[in-house]
Every structure is written in C-alpha cells, then in structure tokens.
C-alpha cells in the first residue's frame, strides 16, 4: 500500500500537470473559433450533456493545417534548424567535454562550474545580450571593423545565423554534461591498450573513445534537439522575418490571430512529432541502464 | 619444474645476446627520480619478474618498455635496436594491463581480434589466430560474450589472449593476477607458466607479491627506490641474498647482528652485539676482523629441541614465546636470555596434540655453520 502511494505521487503529478492540460488543448483543437471569451465553441454545458458536446467537435483545424503550406514548411524548417543546431552543438560540445574529462582532477569542479554558471542569469537576458553582440552596431561588428577584417558591418542579427548561434549557445551545457559524464567514467588504460595493440592516437579515439561515449552523445543530442525543435524565444528575438519556426507560428496563431483552435492543433501536432525522439531517447537511456548492470 | 632451471640460464652465457637491454636508464617525474641510472639485461624466452614495494619504480620500467613513458636519460634496446623513439603502437611489445583494459563495447572475440585487425591481416588469418588464442586460454564458449558478462578469471584470460594474439617479441604483465582470489591466482600462475612455455614468448611481469614472483619467474629483479637491489633466480634470491634488504623482503628471516673474527678457511666467528656465546658461520665473501655483519638464517633451517644438541655448530637456549600454527608448518618464536627473539620453523608431520613444545618451555635452537648467510650490509 505504501509502495503504491509512493508511485502514485509522480503519476498524479503527471496527470495534473501534463495529461489534463494536454486534454484541454486537444479539446480546443477540435473546437471552432468564435468571437467570445474564451474564443472558441463549444463550451461544456451541463444541460446539453455529452452527445451535443461531442457532436460539435471535428478535425476541421487539422485539415486546415494540411491546406496551408505555411504549417508543414514551418515544421520542416524547425526540424532543419534543430538538426543543424544539434550538429553544431555536438561539434563544439564534444571537444569541451573531452578536454574537461582529460583535465587534472583538481580543475574539474571549476570547469564544471564554468559550464553551469550561465544558468545563474536569466535565459531571456542572455538572449538579449546576444542581440547587443550581433546587431549592426554590436560588439562583434565593432570588433571586426576595428581589426580591419571587414569593411562594412555584417548583418547577423535577424537572420537564421543568429538563431543558430543562439540555440548552440543556450543548449551547449546540455550537450557537454552527458558527454562529459560518459568520458569521465572511461578507464584511461583503454586508450593505452588500444595504442599498445597498434592503434594510432586518432584511431584509438575513433575505435574506443567515440563508441564508449556514444550514449553520452545520443543523450546530449536529444537534450538539445527536443527543446530546439519547439524553440520560440530565440527565433523571435534573434531570427528575422525569414526565420520560420513552428514555435513562432504557434505564438502568432495564439496571440496575433487569436485563433486558439488552430494554435492548439499546431501544438498537438508538435507534441506528436516530439514524442518520436522522446521515445527514442528513453530507449537509449534504458539500454544504457541495462548495459551497466 | 626443476628441469628448465638447470638447463635454461642464458644470463650465465657470455655469448648470448639479451633481448632487452636497459642502459643507464634514468627516469624523472619533475623532481622525483623514479628510476635511477639502471642497467639490466633480459634474455629471450625468460619469464622475468620485477618485484618490489609500491612506488619502487617497477611499473615505470614496464611502461617504458611498452612505450607509454620515455626515459629521461639512457637507452632501452629491444633485439639490438634502440626503441626509445618508437611509439607504443609500432613496438613488437604487448601489454596485459592490471585492470585488463578490455574494451567493454566489444565481444571477447572482437577484443582478441582488435590488434590483429590493426595490422590489416586478411580475414581468414584473423579468424584462425583468434580461434587459436581462444583455444589456448580455454575461452571458446565465451567468444560472443561481452566483458561484463564473464567472470574475473575469464576476463583475465581474455586480456592474456588479446595481448598474445599479435605474437609479440615481449609480453608485459602488470600485476596480472592481482584481482583474482588466492586459489584462482595459484592455478593461474601455473597456467601462465604453461602458456609462456608453449608460446616461447619472453614475459616480463610486474608484481609486489614475492610468492608469485618466485613461483613463475626464471629470474627475479628486486627493486627499491628506482634501483635494482638484486637480480637472481628465485632459489639464489632466497638462499643467497646479497644484502639484508633482499633477505628481509623475500620470505621470513632471522637477522643477527654481530662482529666477525676469522676462524679458518672461509670460516668466521661471530660475536653477538648483545653478548650471547659466539656463533660460527661460513662465507665466501671476505670479512675483516671486527667488521659488523648480519647473519641471516631462514626459520626452517633452525632445529628446535628440548635437550642441548651435540656437535651442533651453533646452539642457543631460550624459551618459547609464541607459536604460530599454519597447518602444515608451525613457527616458534623463541626468546633468548638477552631478549632477542628467534623464529624457528618445523613441519607438522605429527598431529598437533603430539607436538613436543608449548608456551614457556625451555628449548634449544641449533643450526649448522652453512645454514646462514653472512651479509655485510
């Protein structure tokens, strides 16, 4: 009984904070837009009961999503931006994690602290700081002009490049930490053994270090990819009119168009799309746990 | 067992070329001198043990042979060629790591094949060699398992098979049996010797366990503080230690300090520092009169009796202080009148209830003049 109570806590938590809100959003996505508060019909009415309520729900909004190419283009573009950002995060994060794992023992807590330190400042402020760095008169352009590398300021802010920079910057710790954890666990004599058996340094890295940090790479990639796919703040602050991301579309649908049903449909589809990588991620974690037993 | 000891002794043959040659090798880590101007020859097909307490430099010696460390000064030759500039992956030397360092993401089969594949050998050849190694180490049934799915003893054999697969000129074993329990360790020692004999590979083993070194090695180098203290066969090391350090490090020993007086051809009288009747000893090394000497006598070479033995070269009286019963042997700690404690060992050929001495019994200890070794330092 006590065991049951213990398990019930997280399930109740999930039920109250995930499943119930999801069902509300799902219901709105099946409703019709209306000039009212809240701006949709039908509303639950005790008098008419279930039959009348459900008969008014339909998939009209979902059909609409397939008719306007804005939506699938936004999904596709989000996917592309998330995938490319994840790749860059990996390319930058792996060497940092590797360097941390190879650094002297007494430095590691400090290095770890430096990775986590940015979280002490609000995420929004950090993104605003990037606006200051990347704008036409920003620090980066001033520096490049001063060194004479460029003659005219570059346009970085309000382009996809700025979005990539923002996402890579924001999610880098999520890539570094799981890779670092995997590399830190690795026995250093494995590399020596590989060299002893005829591997060059590079070969030993490719044949031993990479496979043994695979789980860290997969975990880090999902931790970056999943939130990046639905990212809203970074594209709306750093991106331009050409930056198409589903998070932004969703926001505009809700607040500019006040079309809650269509916005809800977009959100439901986004969630369904995210479930695929989340399930893959879970399976990876599970396999890892099994391998360690 | 004793056949190779009499036949195999390349170190006594002046014409024999050593396989490995350390020439005045010094290794410093910052201020710390790990290896101090050390020269050593190791011959082909030897099973050579580096023995010493932790921090004595034995592991550094091995890592220099493998190529993971380079000497600060001096040369290391392998088959006549200086290997100091050769990186570890280009040396005909393989190492079995203390932690085994098996690749956790590869099966037993792939672990053993790892080195062969780096040589870009044809598939069939890799296959044949791996099968051979699996057979040698009796691992055929475990070929498809991952390292975490087999026992410690099996992992040890995988590590051995992997390091032997490339048929190295020299195999290095870093505390190879350290992680095994005592019973398995003893079995594996004989297995190692067997495999060494079958493959004819030169083995260099690093260990802090003197029993292990004595069991497996053709020669043992006793090291301390980066220096070689003595390099000998196990029997010589035990019977003829060069100095007090070795006598004390290998096995159990009684050390009696005294002053020598010549009493005949290679015979000496030894006056105890603490005023017991003088002892008689034999030594090929010359001692001058009045020189300080340590007489080292192994406990099992001392006879214990109730009555004063007649015709004994040396006899002292004392009383039994302690008895350590080890099953097959008993060690008696006998306290002399001066307070010195001497250890004597007897085999328990009779049942314990019938043994002749017990605590507080007055007893005589006796030994021949040749039983002990006279050491100057």
Min distance B95 CA to chain A CA atoms (Å): 7
The answer to whether B166 contacts A198, with C-beta atoms less than 8 Å apart, is: yes
One domain for residues A195 and A276: yes
DSSP secondary structure code for residue A43 in this structure: -
B105 contacts A196? CB cut-off 8 A: no
Q: Compute the distance between CA of residue A25 and CA of residue A23 in angstroms, rounded to an integer.
A: 5
| CATH code of the domain containing A134 | 1.10.3720.10
User: Of the candidates A189, A200, A211, which has its C-beta nearest B105's C-beta?
Assistant: A211
| Residue pLDDT, tens place only, A75-85 | 999 999 999 99
| Whole-number Cα distances in Å, B367 to A99, B208, B253, B316 | 65, 31, 14, 9
Which residue positions in chain A have pLDDT lower than 50?
none
- A207: DSSP letter: I
Residues of chain A contacting residue B118, judged by C-beta atoms under 8 Å apart: 197-199, 203
Domain that holds residue A46: 1-58
How many angstroms away from the CA of B103 is the closest CA of chain A? 7
- Give the number of beta-carbon pairs within 8 Å between A and B: 57
Task: Report mean pLDDT in 10-residue bins for chain B, 377 residues.
Answer: 61 87 94 93 94 91 94 94 93 93 95 94 94 92 93 92 93 89 87 89 92 92 93 93 91 89 86 78 86 91 88 88 87 88 87 72 89 88
Query: How far apart are the CA of B243 and the nearest CA of chain A, in angstroms?
Result: 37
Structural contact between residues A44 and A57, judged by C-beta atoms closer than 8 angstroms:
no
Q: Name the residue among A190, A198, A291 with its Cβ closest to that of B118.
A: A198
Q: Are the C-beta atoms of B16 and B10 separated by less than 8 Å?
A: yes
What is the pLDDT at residue B109? 96
Which structure tokens are listed for A9?
């806590």
Q: Which of A35, A58, A81 is the last residue of a domain?
A: A58
Q: DSSP code of A32?
A: E
Instruction: Using CB atoms, pick whichever of B67, B97, B163 lies closest to residue A189.
Output: B97
A-interface mutation test, from B70, B83, B101, B172, most A Cβ less than 10 A away: B101
Cβ of B97 and A192 within 8 Å? Answer: yes
Q: Which residues of A88-125 are buried (b: 16+ CB within 10 A; e: fewer)?
A: bbbeebbebbbebbeeeeeeeeebeeebeeeeeeeeee
Same domain, A25 and A156: no
How many domains would you assign to chain A?
A: 2
Q: Say if strands A40-41 and A32-33 run parallel, antiparallel, or are unpaired.
A: antiparallel
Which residues of chain B are within 8 Å of residue A213 when distances are taken between CB atoms?
Answer: none
Give the residue among B119, B174, B110 at the shortest CA–CA distance from B142: B110
The last residue of one of the domains, among A24, A40, A58, is A58
* Closest CB from B95, B118, B148 relative to A199: B118
Q: Count CB atoms within 10 A of the CB of residue A232.
A: 14
User: Taking CB atoms and an 8 Å cutoff, what residues of chain A touch B98?
Assistant: 189
Distance between CA B185 and CA B153 in Å, rounded? 9
Give the three-state DSSP class for A121.
coil
Chain A closest CA to B108's CA: distance in Å? 15
A193 and A154 fall within a common domain: yes
User: How wide is the angle at C-alpha B366 spanned by C-alphas B365 and B371, nearest 5°?
Assistant: 130
* Encoded tokens for A235: 């594209």
- Cα gap A238→A159, rounded to integer Å: 7
Q: Are residues A75 and A181 part of one domain?
A: yes
**Which token pair is B219?**
């020669």
Residues A46 and A143 grouped into a single domain: no
Q: Are A153 and A140 in contact (CB under 8 A)?
A: no
Query: Is the peptide bond prior to A22 cis by the omega test (within 30 degrees of 0)?
Result: no
Which H, E and C letters describe B160-195, residue by residue?
HHHHHCCCCCEEEEECCCCCCCHHHHHHHHHHHHHH
Mode of pairing for the β-strands spanning B292-297 and B373-375: antiparallel
**Alpha carbon of B209: minimum distance to chain A alpha carbons (Å):** 22
Q: Report CB contact under 8 Å: A194, B114.
A: yes
Same domain, A112 and A26: no
Helix axes A123-134, A139-147, angle to 10 degrees: 30
Question: Domains in chain B, please, with CATH?
Answer: 10-245 (3.40.50.300), 252-375 (2.40.50.140)
Q: What Rg, from alpha-carbon coordinates, does chain B have?
A: 25
Question: Domain check: are A144 and A6 in the same one?
Answer: no
A49 is written with which tokens? 């009961």
Distance of CA A117 to the CA centre of its chain: 20
Residues on chain A touching B87 (C-beta within 8 angstroms): 195
Task: Quote the CA–CA distance of B49 and A200 in Å, as a whole number.
Answer: 29
Which of A192, A200, A207 minimises the CB distance to B101? Answer: A192
pLDDT (0 to 100) of residue B11 = 87
Regarding whether A209 and A138 lie in a shared domain, the answer is: yes
B87, B115, B148: residue with CB nearest A197? B115
Order the strands of the B292-297 sheet from edge to edge: B279-282, B267-272, B254-264, B292-297, B373-375
Question: Which among A190, A196, A214 has the least Cβ separation from residue B88?
Answer: A196
Last residue of a domain, one of A10, A34, A58: A58
Residue B374 forms beta bridges with which residues?
B295
Q: What is the 3-state secondary structure (H, E, C) of A210-261?
A: HHHCHHHHHHHHHHHHHHHHCCCHHHHHHCCCCCCCHHHHHHHHHHHCCCHH
What is d(CA A137, CA A145) in angstroms, rounded to the nearest whole number?
10
Residue A229's φ and ψ, nearest 5 degrees, are -60, -40
Query: Which residues from A are below 8 Å from B95, CB to CB?
Result: 192-193, 196
Instruction: Please check whether residues A123 and A6 belong to one and the same domain.
Output: no
Q: How far is B74 from chain A (nearest CA, A)?
A: 22
CB–CB contact A192 B88 (8 Å): yes
Report residue B81 as tokens. Answer: 């060629």
Residues of B in contact with A207 (CB under 8 A): 114
Closest CA to A269 of A84, A79, A86: A79
Residues of chain A whose C-beta is under 8 A from some C-beta in B?
Answer: 187, 189-190, 192-200, 203, 207-208, 211-212, 214, 291
Q: How does DSSP classify residue A59? A: S
Do A127 and A267 lie in one domain? The reply is yes
Residues A14 and A109 in one domain: no
Residues A7 and A70 reside in one and the same domain: no
| Alpha-carbon gap, residue A143 to A154, rounded angstroms | 11
Report chain A residues whose CB lies below 8 A from the CB of B68. 192, 195
The whole-model pTM stands at 0.81
With CA atoms as reference, the chain A residue closest to B101 would be: A190
Give yes or no for a contact between B213 and B207, defined as CB atoms under 8 angstroms apart: yes
Q: How far, in Å, CA of A43 to CA of A28, rounded? A: 9
């Amino acid at each position: 009984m006590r065991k049951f109570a213990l398990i019930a806590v997280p399930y109740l938590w999930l039920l109250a904070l995930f499943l119930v809100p999801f069902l509300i959003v799902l219901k709105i996505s099946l409703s019709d837009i209306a000039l009212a508060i809240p701006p949709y019909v039908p509303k639950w009415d005790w008098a008419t009961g279930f039959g009348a309520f459900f008969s008014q729900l339909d998939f009209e909004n979902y059909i609409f999503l397939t008719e306007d190419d804005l939506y699938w283009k936004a999904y596709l573009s989000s996917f592309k931006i998330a995938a490319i950002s994840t790749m860059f995060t990996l390319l930058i994060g792996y060497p940092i994690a590797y360097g941390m794992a190879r650094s002297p023992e007494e430095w590691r807590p400090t290095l770890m602290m430096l990775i986590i330190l940015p979280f002490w400042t609000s995420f929004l402020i950090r993104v605003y700081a990037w606006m200051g760095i990347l704008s036409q008169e920003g620090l980066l352009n001033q520096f490049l002009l001063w060194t004479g590398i460029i003659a005219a300021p570059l346009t970085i802010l309000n382009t996809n490049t700025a979005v990539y920079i923002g996402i890579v910057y924001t999610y880098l710790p999520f890539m570094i930490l799981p890779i670092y954890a995997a590399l830190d666990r690795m026995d250093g004599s494995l590399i020596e053994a590989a060299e002893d058996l005829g591997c060059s340094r590079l070969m030993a890295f490719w044949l031993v270090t990479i496979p043994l940090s695979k789980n860290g790479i997969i975990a880090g990639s999902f931790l970056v990819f999943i939130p990046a796919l639905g990212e809203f703040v970074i594209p709306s602050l750093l991106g331009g009119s050409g930056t198409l991301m589903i998070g932004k579309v969703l926001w505009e649908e809700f607040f500019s168009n006040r079309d809650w049903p269509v916005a809800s449909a977009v959100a439901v589809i986004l969630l369904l799309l995210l479930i695929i990588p989340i399930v893959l991620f879970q399976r990876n974690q599970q396999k890892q746990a099994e391998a360690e037993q | 067992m004793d056949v190779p000891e009499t036949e195999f002794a390349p170190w006594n043959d002046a014409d024999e070329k050593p396989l490995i040659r350390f020439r005045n090798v010094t290794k410093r880590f910052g201020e710390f001198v790990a290896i101090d101007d050390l020269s050593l020859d190791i011959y082909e097909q030897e099973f050579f043990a580096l023995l010493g307490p932790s921090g004595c430099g034995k592991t550094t010696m091995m890592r220099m042979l493998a190529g993971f460390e380079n000497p600060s000064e001096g040369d290391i030759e392998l088959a006549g060629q200086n290997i100091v500039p050769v990186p570890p992956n280009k040396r005909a030397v393989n190492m079995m790591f203390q932690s085994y360092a098996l690749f956790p993401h590869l099966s037993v089969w792939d672990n053993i094949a790892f080195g062969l594949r780096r040589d870009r050998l044809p598939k069939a050849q890799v296959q044949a060699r791996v099968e051979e190694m699996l057979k040698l180490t009796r691992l055929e049934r475990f070929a498809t398992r991952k390292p975490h799915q087999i026992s410690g003893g099996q992992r040890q054999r995988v590590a051995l098979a992997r390091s032997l697969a490339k048929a190295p000129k020299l195999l290095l074993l870093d505390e190879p049996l350290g992680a095994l329990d005592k019973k398995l360790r003893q079995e594996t020692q004989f297995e190692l010797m067997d495999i060494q004999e079958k493959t004819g590979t030169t083995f260099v083993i690093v260990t802090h366990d003197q029993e292990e070194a004595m069991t497996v090695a053709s020669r043992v180098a006793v090291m301390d503080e980066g220096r070689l203290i003595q390099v000998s066969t196990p029997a010589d090391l035990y019977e003829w230690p060069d100095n007090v350090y070795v006598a004390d490090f290998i096995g159990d020993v009684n050390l009696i300090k005294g002053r020598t007086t010549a009493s005949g051809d290679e015979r000496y009288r030894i006056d105890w520092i603490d005023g017991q009747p003088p002892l008689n000893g034999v030594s090929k090394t010359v001692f001058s009169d009045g020189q300080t000497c340590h007489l080292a006598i192994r406990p099992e070479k001392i006879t214990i009796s109730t009555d004063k033995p007649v015709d004994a070269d040396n006899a002292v009286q004392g009383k039994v202080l302690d008895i350590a019963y080890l099953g097959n042997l008993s060690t008696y700690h006998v306290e002399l009148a001066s307070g010195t404690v001497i250890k004597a060992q007897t085999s328990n050929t009779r049942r314990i209830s019938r043994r002749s001495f017990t605590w507080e019994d007055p007893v005589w200890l006796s030994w021949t003049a040749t039983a002990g070794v006279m050491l100057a330092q």
